[in-house]
Amino acid sequence: MFTGLVEGQGVVLRIEKKRDKALLSIKPEFPWEERNLGESVAVNGVCLTATTWTENSFSVDVSEESLTRSDLGKLKVGDQVNLERALRLSDRLGGHWVTGHIDGTGRIVHKEFQENFFRLTISFPESLRPFIVEKGSIAVDGVSLTVNRVGEKDLELTIIPHTGAQTTLAGKKIGDEVNLETDLIGKYVYQFLSRRKEDGLLKSKVNEDFLREHGFL
């Protein structure tokens, strides 16, 4: 489990692609005191396991599922990636619950600078629309962000200077792909209500219109 507060960036040193998986070697570009085999690391928001450590880098295996769901299969040697180690129970939860299980990829369709801030507009797959709400949370390449606006096919985000400096988002260009993970709690609520409705058990008056009328959406 992660928070979406990226600790820093890393650089891809080596990529070894096989038929149904890939091996990535990554060098963190920030202090990494504890180096434990088997620990979970979010790489551009994808939860992976550190299988080996050298003096200055670690390696992770990327499964076929992760390659299909994310953009990790398109990384090249020398690319920068966002890194976050797994949440400890004693840590402050400054972002939101992020699992590292990517729902799909989006594409940057607009980028606009405003003084030290910049805005990103990202298109997303139609299947993710029910889980993206205005002022809700979303993880983009592992970065916990708040949705400013959501349309039928895209969403808008504001990136503050600290986030731009700490992550790879400032270097993203129009047309670049990004990994998207929608809010975990929202997905469970949606599935629960959908199943209740299908079973004919949903009698609650709390629906999307009710939530919008009372200021929740």
pLDDT of residue 117: 93
Residue 148 lies in a domain: yes
Q: Is 109 found in the same domain as 73?
A: no
Identify the CATH number of the domain in which residue 171 sits: 2.40.30.20
Residue 56 lies in a domain: yes
Q: Is 109 found in the same domain as 182?
A: yes
Residue 115 lies in a domain: yes
Long-range contact pairs involving 61-68 (C-beta distance under 8 Å, separation at least 24): 61/21, 61/22, 61/23, 62/21, 62/22, 62/23, 62/24, 63/20, 63/21, 64/20, 64/21, 66/102, 67/21, 67/22
Q: Is 136 found in the same domain as 194?
A: yes
Strand 40-43 to 46-53 pairing: antiparallel
Residue 71 lies in a domain: yes
Q: What is the number of structural domains in the chain?
A: 2
The pLDDT confidence band at residue 198, using thresholds 50, 70 and 90, is low
Q: Is 190 found in the same domain as 115?
A: yes
pLDDT of residue 133: 93
pLDDT, tens digit (0-9, with 9 covering 90-100), for 136-179: 999 999 999 999 999 999 999 999 999 999 999 999 999 999 99
Q: Is 80 found in the same domain as 119?
A: no
Half-sphere exposure of 64 (CA within 13 A, CB side): 3
pLDDT, tens digit (0-9, with 9 covering 90-100), for 18-42: 888 999 999 999 999 888 999 999 9
Q: Is 81 found in the same domain as 15?
A: yes
Q: Is 121 found in the same domain as 66?
A: no
> How much is the mean pLDDT over the chain?
91
Q: Is 125 found in the same domain as 170?
A: yes
Residue 212 lies in a domain: no
Expressed as residue numbers, the domain containing 152 is 104-198
Residue 169 lies in a domain: yes
pLDDT of residue 197: 59
pLDDT of residue 193: 79
Residue 96 lies in a domain: no
pLDDT of residue 205: 65
Q: Is 179 found in the same domain as 138?
A: yes
Full-model pTM? 0.87
Q: Is 79 found in the same domain as 116?
A: no
Q: Is 20 found in the same domain as 63?
A: yes
Q: Is 183 found in the same domain as 114?
A: yes
